[in-house]
Structure 1
Amino acid sequence: MIKPILPSELILNKDGSVYHLNLKPEQLANTIIFVGDQDRVAKVAKHFDEILFETQKREFKTITGVFKGKKISIISTGIGPDNIDIVMNELDALVNINLKTRTIKPEHTKLSIVRIGTSGSLQDYIPVDSFVLASYGLGMDSTLHAYDCEHILETEIEDAFIKHTNWSNRKGRPYIVKGSKTLENKLFSDNTFKGFTATANGFYGPQGRILRLALQDATLNSKIDSFNFNDLKITNLEMETAAIYGLSKLLGHEALSMNAIIANRANGTFSDNPNKTIENLITYTLNKLV
């Protein structure tokens, strides 16, 4: 007899929806767009031909609808790898666990997940208002290390990064995961840069910003900028991609991150119209997915 997952481990609301996302399986599409900001969900959904479902709990807002005949769900994840841990596990539970019996389904369902986010470029050749498609994600948080993940990691690149940055052993080991090649082939064009996205676990100190607190390594950003592994350079910095890639790969899903570059940390510039850049990336991504 298959042992059911305990209520303390898989928490459901009284209506049978998963705890944080407030979703039931029939309310979710197999193609999903992640955004960080809950207000951005409507900015994507305004392009839909039809809205099928809408819900929100805390920062997790979902709209499921139809765009050019394709069913798509848009979900706001909030900020940071810890939120990604919640979102990815609950999405997988919706499609790969029978919520009534609390048992894993015998047949696996694969989700296609695309993050549309904002980011800052670390290289001077990637200007503001451009798009970066992340071929790799570098996690500078420890979220993925809570799981058995060694088999999905790019350990050779990790070792080179640790050596190059003289990474402190008091921090969690950086992890590197490759994005979905299937989605990369679908979303790449001459309008995008291929990138190597670094994921920080904070906005200020973890991204090298100094207000009143001294940094453990004030030179880390410059070492990240100058890292080069067989001509693979870190192109941009944000707070979700690596965790999405790692958990997606562990759970058997496809995931790719599309970044609207609204700042360039290398030359100190910021977009004159970041909302237009984000809107351009939204329309580009939607049309590539259908």
Structure 2
Amino acid sequence: MAISDSELILNPDGSIYHLNLLPEDIASTIITVGDPNRVSMVSKYFDTVDINKEKREFLTHTGIYKGKRITVISTGIGTDNIDIVFNELDALVNIDFATRKVKQRKTRLDFIRIGTSGSIQADIPVDSFLLSSKAIGFDGLMHFYEAGQVRNNALEQELNQFLRWEDHNIVAYVVDADEDLAKKFDSNRIRFGITITNSGFYGPQGRSLRLPPKLHDFNTKLAAFSYQNLPLTNHEMETAGMYGLAKLHGHRAVSLNAILANRATGEFSKHGRKTIDDLIKYTLEKIVS
């Protein structure tokens, strides 16, 4: 059955609506970054850049790095944008735009997030690297999909019972990283952790400027929880949505975090740009190794 014009929206040139991309514009290995300015921080290491397209906050470069074709795309901030980016990237490889029908033979994509994050544990230093082995979503995205088969129900239940935030209309979902893809990035340079994906940067992460937060013990309560002797480690704003949508579509995803803040100690990196650049180089080398 053909997908209607209102559901699969294409631009006049045949490109997908928000991303402004054609199927041939992307590689099967895709690096996601939040900031459009970070796209060139990645692609400057490519041997060639063959695709350079943008629309709104979505900037895409596709090129070759040491013989491997890689796409890097900016998603903007938040899982609402992840919903757009991941659905449209999947459509580019798994829907025939001419017939508007889902292809019988599916293409699997590998998504690698290179992002920034803040630790909630005092022993995770700024300027370190962290791979999200599991992601806890406080954003709500997966509640809009039939996603029970890809969620970590045991961790969800234990965490929600511990927090008891249902009265605040906060119910977490949990999705794991792809284990095989995560193994590619394992080394003594990077630690593994359980990442918290939030729906905002201030109140939803327990920050207060002029508005008092509703949950005064937000970070201390999260930091006190552990699952199978593993603590919750860090805050960011995309990973749980990435993991959920990737698994639902049959893709693989992993999130790599440059720890720029430590919420427990109040520290913030003085060398953030270098840390991000080091993580980019680390990621590219692991992709082709």
- Match status 1:155 vs 2:148: no
Distance verdict in 2 for CA 1:170–1:267, change over 3 Å: closer
CA distance in 2, matches of 1:139, 1:41: 25
Instruction: State the shift of 1:170 in Å.
Output: 4.2
CA distance in 2, matches of 1:227, 1:186: 28
Q: Amino acid of the residue matched to residue 226 of structure 2?
A: N
Instruction: State the shift of 1:272 in Å.
Output: 1.3
Helix, strand or coil at the partner of 2:184: helix
Unaligned runs of 5+ in 1: none
Once the two structures are aligned, what percentage of the paired residues are identical?
Answer: 51
Residue pair 1:137, 1:241 contacting (<8 A) in 2 also: yes
Equivalent residue number for residue 251 of structure 1 = 249
**Deviations along 1:226-268, whole A, 9 cap, x unmatched?**
1111112111100000000000000000000000001111111
Equivalent residue number for residue 59 of structure 2 = 61
Equivalent residue number for residue 71 of structure 1 = 69
Match among 89, 92, 109 for residue 91 of structure 1:
89
Instruction: State the shift of 1:140 in Å.
Output: 0.3
The worse-fitting range, judged by mean Cα deviation, of 168-177 and 233-242 is 168-177
Equivalent residue number for residue 263 of structure 2 = 265
Aligned length: 288
Q: Amino acid of the residue matched to residue 125 of structure 2?
A: P
**Deviations along 1:24-66, whole A, 9 cap, x unmatched?**
0001000000000000000100000011111000000000000
CA distance in 1, matches of 2:34, 2:8: 24
Q: Amino acid of the residue matched to residue 15 of structure 1?
A: D
CA distance in 1, matches of 2:169, 2:115: 26
Unaligned runs of 5+ in 2: none
Instruction: State the shift of 1:167 in Å.
Output: 1.3
Q: Amino acid of the residue matched to residue 246 of structure 2?
A: S
Helix, strand or coil at the partner of 2:45: coil
- Match status 1:216 vs 2:214: yes
CA distance in 1, matches of 2:170, 2:213: 16
CA distance in 2, matches of 1:162, 1:180: 23
Equivalent residue number for residue 22 of structure 1 = 20
TM-score (norm 1): 0.98
Match among 264, 271, 274 for residue 272 of structure 2:
274
RMSD: 0.8
Residue pair 1:164, 1:223 contacting (<8 A) in 2 also: no
**Deviations along 1:195-242, whole A, 9 cap, x unmatched?**
111000001100001122222211121111111111121111000000
CA distance in 2, matches of 1:111, 1:169: 38
CA distance in 1, matches of 2:21, 2:231: 38
Equivalent residue number for residue 171 of structure 2 = 173
The aligned runs of 1:105-144 (5 Å cut-off) are 105-144=103-142
CA distance in 1, matches of 2:250, 2:216: 38
